[in-house]
Amino acid sequence: MKFIVSSSYLLKQLQVLGSVINSSNTLPILDNFLFELNGPELKVSASDLETTMQATLEIDSESTGAVAVPAKLLLETLKTFPEQPLTFTVEDNNTIEISSESGKYALAYANGDEFPKAVSLEEPSSTIVPAEVLSTAISKTIFAAGNDDLRPVMSGVFFQFSPQGLIFVATDAHKLVKYARTDVSASQVADFIMPKKPLNILKGILATSNAEVTIEYNDSNATFSFDNYILTCRLIDGKYPNYEAVIPKENPNRLLIGRSQILSSVRRVAIFSNKTTHQIRLKIAGTELNISAEDIDYSNKAEERLTCDYQGDDMQIGFNSRFLTEMLTNLQSDEIQLEMSLPNRAGILTPVDGLSDGETVTMLVMPVMLNN
C-alpha cells in the first residue's frame, strides 16, 4: 500500500478531522486516523464513538488497503514540513514510512479493521441547507446552550425543520436564542437535538465554505455531507422543552438603542458588579437609560446614563451582565430592541437591522431579582 500526497493539503484535511479526537480516549484505536485507500481516492476518518468524520482526498496511488495511523504524531510531523509531495508506504514490519524531500520517518500503525465503523442511517429524512445558513444558525445559537450534565437535552441545539422554514433553538434556562429562517425549508416536519461538539466542528469548516450541506437524520443519528466531508453524530435523546411557552407574548415596554453603545456601557459597569451574581440594574424613564452596578462587599459601584428611544412605563429591571454581554456580542446589528413587560418577566432582545430577508433572531434573557 503506497500513495503520494501534498503535505499542506493533507495537513489541512487532517486538522479538520483532528478536532473530533478526544484528548483522553478509553479505546486506544480512537487516537488514530483511519486511512482507507482505494486507488486515487483516500478516505480518512476520525471518531470518538459519538461523532465520526470522514474526508475524501484525491491522491496519487494505484493500491488499496486500510491502516490506522497515530493522529497526534502524524499531525505534529506534518506541521513542520514546507509544501512538498510526501510518499506514504506501508512496510512489512508494521510501520508506515513517510518519505519527504529530505528524510524518512516511520510510524507504527494499527490494523484498520479495529477502527469503529461509522453508523449508516436507514431510511433517513433529508434536507439541503446552504453552508452559510447553517454556519450562521450554529454560531447564533450555540453559545446559549447549557453545560448541565443532569439536563442533557438543554446541552445541545434544537433543530426544527418544516415546509414553512427552519428553526434553531438553544437555552440553558437563563437565556434562550431562537434563530429562524423562512427562506430555506424542509420537505417534511422533523426535529432533533444536536450535541455541541459536532456543531462546533461544523461551524469552523462551514464558515469558509459555500457548499450545499445535505442533512440526513433519523431518531438517533444525523449525517452532514458537504464538499469532501461527511460528519455523522449521535443525537441527544429526549424531548426538548416547550420553548414557545417561555417567550412572553405581551411586552408593552420597548427600548431602542445602539448595540455597540449599550454593549460597551454594560461591559464597563459590569466590572463593578458583584463577582458572584454579575448583577446590573437597568432603570428606564423617558428617554434616559440608567445602567448601574454595585458590589456592597467592596463598596464598588458604577453608573452610566445613556439616551435611548423608549416607549412604556418607567421601570427598573436587573440582569446578569454576562448573559447580556454574550447576547449583544453575538448580534451584528447597529441597533437593538429590548422588549419587557414586568421586572420579573424575561426581556426579549432582537436586532432592528442587519438581517437578510427571511431571517429572524429572538434572544430571551431572564431577569435577576433586584434587592433595593
CATH number at residue 233: 3.10.150.10
Q: Are residues 279 and 227 in the same domain?
A: no
Considering the domain boundaries, does residue 159 fall inside one? yes
Looking at the 3D structure of the chain, how many domains does it have?
3
Q: Are residues 236 and 274 in the same domain?
A: no
In the beta sheet, which residues pair with residue 43? 36, 56
CA distances from 247 to 208, 209, 251, 362 (A): 33, 34, 10, 9
Considering the domain boundaries, does residue 163 fall inside one? yes
pLDDT at 372: 63
pLDDT at 371: 74
Considering the domain boundaries, does residue 354 fall inside one? yes
Which ranges of the chain have pLDDT less than 50?
none
Q: Are residues 102 and 166 in the same domain?
A: no
91 SS3 class: coil
Q: Are residues 202 and 176 in the same domain?
A: yes
Considering the domain boundaries, does residue 210 fall inside one? yes
pLDDT at 49: 95
* Count of all residues that appear for the chain in the document: 372
Q: Which of 244, 277, 303 is the last residue of a domain?
A: 244
pLDDT at 333: 96
Cα angle vertex 366, ends 310, 325, to 5°? 70
Q: Are residues 160 and 66 in the same domain?
A: no
For the chain, percent helix, then strand, then coil, each to nearest 5? 25, 45, 35
pLDDT at 205: 93
Q: Are residues 263 and 352 in the same domain?
A: yes
Give the integer Cα–Cα distance in Å for 162 and 184.
10
Q: Which of 93, 114, 135 is the last residue of a domain?
A: 114
Q: Which of 244, 274, 293 is the last residue of a domain?
A: 244
Q: Are residues 15 and 92 in the same domain?
A: yes
- Give kind and range of the element (H or E) at residue 270: helix 259-270
Give the integer Cα–Cα distance in Å for 223 and 178.
23
371 contact partners, CB below 8 Å, separation of at least 6: none
Residue 311's Cβ-side half-sphere holds a number of Cα atoms within 13 Å equal to 6
Q: Are residues 109 and 196 in the same domain?
A: no
Q: Give me the domain span that covers residue 72.
A: 2-114
In the beta sheet, which residues pair with residue 38? 41, 64
Q: Are residues 135 and 106 in the same domain?
A: no
Q: Are residues 110 and 135 in the same domain?
A: no
Residue 9 corresponds to which cell in the numbers above? 493539503
Q: Are residues 202 and 286 in the same domain?
A: no
Question: How far is C-alpha 296 from the chain's CA centre?
Answer: 37
Q: Are residues 129 and 159 in the same domain?
A: yes
Q: Virtual CA dihedral for 366, 368, 370, 371, nearest 10 degrees?
A: 160
